[in-house]
Amino acid sequence: MKSFFDIVETIKDVVSGEYTDRKVFDKDVATLLDISQMNFATMKKRNKIPFNELLDFCARRSIAINWLLYGQSPESLIEPTNKFYSVRYFSGVSASAGGGSENDRLESQSLMLGEDFIATLGGERELRFIEAINVSGDSMEPSFSYNDIVFINRSKTDVGRGGIFTIRTEHGLFIKRIQVRIDGKLDIISDNKDYPVFVAKRDEVEVIGRVVGRFGCVD
C-alpha cells in the first residue's frame, strides 16, 4: 500500500486541473478530505491513512479506492471503467481488536473495488458472501490497526484449520486469530502479545466469517 504522503501527492495530481492558477497544497487536500489542517498534518507525520475520508473522496469522484491506495496513474483514476465491483460496507459497525465492540447502525453503503483487489478476496464468485466493517482497538496489531477496514467472507465459518475470524461472544464483536484445541475448545488469540489468550467452548462463540482481506495484507 502507498504511504499517506504518496496518496496525498496522487490526490494533488488528480485534482490539479481544478487549480490551474497555482499549485495544489496540503491544505487543499485536507479541505477535499474534510480533515482539519492540524489533524491532517498529524496523520501525514504518522503515516495514518484516513480510510473513511478517502472513501468519501473516491465516491464523489467515481474512483475505486484501491486504485488510489495501490498506485494506479492519475489518468487511469479519472478515466471511466467497468472493471470495478461493489461490496457492502457497514461503516457503522466495528469489530474489536481489543475489549469488545459493536455498533447497532447496520446501514450499508457500496464500497467500489477494482478487479485486482477483488481477486485477492477470492474473485467475483465470492462477492455475494463478502462484507466490509471497521476495526477498533489494538489487540491485533500489527496485523490490524484502529480504523482499518476489513473484508469478511460470511460463507467461511469453519475454524478447523485456524485463521483470523470475526466472531461474536457475549462480550461483543471481535476480530481474533482462532485455533482449535485437542479438547475441542477454541483458543482466541490476539496478535499483540500484550494480550492474553482466551479459551472458550465452541458453543460460546458465533463465527461470523473469515477475514479475507483489508487495505493491506492478512497473514
Domain range annotation of the chain:
1-80, 82-219
Q: How far apart are CA 94 and CA 96, in angstroms?
A: 6
CATH number (1.20.210.10, 3.30.390.10, 3.40.50.10860, 2.10.109.10) of 82-219 reads 2.10.109.10
pLDDT for 77 equals: 47
Instruction: Report the mean per-residue pLDDT for the chain.
Output: 83
User: Can you name the residues that pair with 95 across neighbouring β-strands?
Assistant: 135
pLDDT tens readout for residues 59-71: 788 777 777 787 6
**Helix, strand, or coil (residue 213):** strand
User: Strands 109-114 and 172-180: what pairing?
Assistant: unpaired
| Assigned architecture for domain 1-80 | Orthogonal Bundle (1.10)
pTM passes above 0.75 = no
Q: Assess whether pLDDT exceeds 80 at residue 119.
A: yes
Q: Assess whether pLDDT exceeds 60 at residue 72.
A: no
pLDDT tens readout for residues 128-148: 899 998 888 888 888 888 778
Amino acid at 200: A
Positive or negative: CA dihedral 64, 70, 75, 76: negative
